[in-house]
Amino acid sequence: MIHPTAVVDPGAEIDSNVEIGPFTVIASDVQIHSGAIIGSHVTIDQYTTLGCDCHIFQHAAIGAVPQDLKFKGEKSVVKIGRGTTIREFVTIHRGTELGGGITEIGEENFLMAYTHVAHDCFTGRKVIFANAASLAGHIRVGDYAILGAFVAVHQFVRIGDYAYIGGMTGVTKDIPPYVLVSGTPRARLYGLNAVGLKRHNFSKETMLALKKTYRILFRLGLTLNEGIERVTAEVDQIPEVVNFIKFVKSSERGITR
């Protein structure tokens, strides 16, 4: 059902069972798939794709051109994954040529009010952004990560799977997977995200292996290379430990410690 006051460009592709609220504006070259619900006063700009069963609340702005002085009007896109919820006043911007031309929100994400996702960002599955969390450009967020209210993340930072970042934290370096991070103005590690891992049914053996990995890397005063060598020698190489080490080794911005 499309409200009669909504403005929908004829070039938009909208499945028949999509709901669009009053005074919402849908541009051309937009695709909105089955079961999506779009509230009032929403703007969805050109080259945006909205997956099935998404819910966008009032006054969100999706697919606007990026806030990047290098952007010269090239075609770029926003993709929103299936089952994602986008609350009031959220802003999500298109990608740029430099960043690959795509901003992508994964499946079943939950973006609370005033969240901002800048150009060329990528999020995994079931990521949660609390109110006013903000991503600068070219950021990658892993599966099941949680960002607290007013978290601000610097350009090109990576955030690992199942990481938890406390509110008001400024993030300037990569956040490893499975960890708890907080700090104003500078982020610091505070151990494993034990509560989150238990809620996702991580086994006792996995938790112990990750705890040992964390301790070796960040609590023994070793360099990262020394820590990686020791983890490889002393800790069972289960998939989660391998993921942890791979993330740390591939960091270009440096690791939050």
Catalytic residues: 119-120, 137
Task: Supply the DSSP string of 133-145, one letter for each residue.
Answer: -EE-SS-EE-TT-
**Dihedral sign, CA of 153, 157, 162, 166?**
negative
Helix (H) / strand (E) element for 49: namely strand 48-50
Question: Which residues in 65-224 belong to E strands, given as ranges?
Answer: 77-80, 85-86, 91-93, 102-105, 110-111, 116-117, 122-123, 128-129, 134-135, 140-141, 146-147, 152-153, 158-159, 164-165, 170-171, 179-182, 188-192
d(C-alpha 236, C-alpha 244), whole Å: 12
As a whole number of Å, the CA-based R_g of the chain is: 20
Tokens 């938790």 correspond to 207
DSSP 65: P
CB-based contacts of 48, cutoff 8 Å, min separation 6: 27, 30, 31, 62, 63, 77, 78, 79, 80, 94
Phi/psi for 55 (5° steps) reads -135, 115
d(C-alpha 123, C-alpha 188), whole Å: 22
